[in-house]
Structure 1
Amino acid sequence: MRRNFTDTVSRSVADPTVYATAARALLKALESHPRTRLIVIGGAGSLEIEPGLVRADSDELLHESLDRVGLPREYAAAVRGHRDALNVLRTSNRLWTYFSPAEEIAPGRRTGRFRIGGDQPVLDAAGRSRISSEDAAVALIDEAELPRFVQRRFTIGY
């Protein structure tokens, strides 16, 4: 299992420009399909931890976060790649939605009870940004079926 994780991290950081490149290519493809909606699943590193302060913009804050969730520090390149892709989407007039799940996302229980936010993380009573993969999937399907965040990002947490 550890080898698969190491391989995934290596592939994620091999070329961090690929995230923004993919966003531009998808938006270009949507030019001929202006009514088609794009939903992108990104990361929590581009969320504002306070107004104007994005974790992905600070080595110290990003490394602290990666350490806390058990990811190697080189994964910062992928986090910044996702942030860059979001910034590409924000310049577009296409029908896009960017989903930033909580900072801590792992298999767990589907509760159907979570809170939705915009550009700031949703924190639980202990100050943690967390969600189960099952509830993240529910939120994603809910957004696909009933769009509320067109040309915007949203996040979730307990």
Structure 2
Amino acid sequence: MSNIVVFGAGGTAGSRITTEAFNRGHRVTAAVRRPEATSYLPAGVQVVTGDATSERSVRELAPEADALVVAIGGDQRGLWLNAARTLVGTLRDMPATPRIIHLGGGATLLTPKGTRILDEPDFPEEYRDSAIGQAEALDFYRSSADGVSWTYVSPPPLEFHPGERTGRYRTGDDHPVTDHEGRSVLSYQDMAVVIVDEIENPRHENTRFTAAY
């Protein structure tokens, strides 16, 4: 059993990661900004006020944790980079450091040409700021997270939505995992499976990977 802290546990992805981890017998702490609005989480999950961009929150929650899952969302471009900097900077000063599992952006994946999906001319403008923000976080982990264990997980770039939990998926590195029709698809429920599997059986330490059916 692992001790897992999920930042953003009240969100669409975070709530499913929390539930998946709890149902597998892990001790889960749901770190959210509004604990009173999380009655839908499983009974037995510890709910606390917490923020991945707060050094105080990280210092309070990290000592007992084996993994810190970042599943936060928002409309501020700098949110994810701020969280990455806070987590890495805080954990470096601690004697025992949990692993960071960052649920990042699918638009940071690469096209067959080797360019980022977010840099394509037809990339939707309304998603550009969040995509760039997630790309900045990934770049930070890759260049500045020495001494801290991290994993950045990218969902499919387009077809990532609530759906069925199948427990099946395939993984890749920097390019989307596609089916025979060229589609890259995954449900939030199976992304939760991906992340908890990675916590239980680490295979992508200090790197980024992606998953889809």
Give the equivalent residue in structure 2 for 1:70.
Answer: none
Aligned-residue offset at 1:43: 1.3
> How many residues of Structure 1 are paired with residues of Structure 2 in the alignment?
137
Within the alignment, does 1:99 sit opposite 2:153 as a pair?
Answer: yes
Would you say the 8 A contact 1:110–1:132 is kept in 2? yes
The higher-RCO structure (CA 8 Å, 6+ apart) is 1
1:51 offset after TM fit, Å? 5.0
CA offsets per residue over residues 41-62 of structure 1, 9 Å max, x none? 011000011253111233x142
Match runs of 1:1-158 below 5 Å = 12-13=74-75, 15-33=76-94, 35-50=97-112, 52-58=114-120, 60-63=121-124, 73-91=125-143, 92-93=145-146, 94-103=148-157, 104-158=159-213
Q: Which residue of 1 aligns with 2:38?
A: none
- Name the TM-score, length of structure 2 as normaliser: 0.60
Distance 1:148-1:51 versus aligned 2 partners, 3 A rule: farther
**Deviation at residue 12 of structure 1 after TM alignment:** 3.1
C-alpha contact (below 8 Å) 1:20/1:88 kept by paired residues: yes
Q: What secondary structure does 2:129 align onto?
A: helix
Q: Which structure 1 residue ranges, 5 or more long, are not aligned? A: 1-10, 64-72
Going by fraction, where is helix more abundant, 1 or 2?
Answer: 1
Unmatched 5+ stretches in structure 2: 1-72
User: SS state of the match for residue 35, structure 1?
Assistant: coil
Task: Provide the residue aligned with 1:69 in structure 2.
Answer: none
Aligned to 2:17: none
Q: Aligned AA for 1:21?
A: N
Query: Residue by residue, what CA displacement relative to the aligned partner does 1:50-107 show, whole Å, maximum 9, x if unpaired?
Result: 253111233x1422xxxxxxxxx32210011001100001012120000111221112
What's the C-alpha RMSD, in Å, of the aligned pairs? 1.6
What letter is aligned with 1:109?
A: E
Q: What TM-score does the superposition give when structure 1 sets the normalisation length?
A: 0.80
What SS is found at the alignment partner of 1:40?
Answer: strand
- Please tell me the residue identity of whatever aligns with 1:74: E
What one-letter code is carried by the residue in structure 1 that aligns with 2:151? T
Structure 1 stretches of 4+ with a deviation exceeding 6 A read none
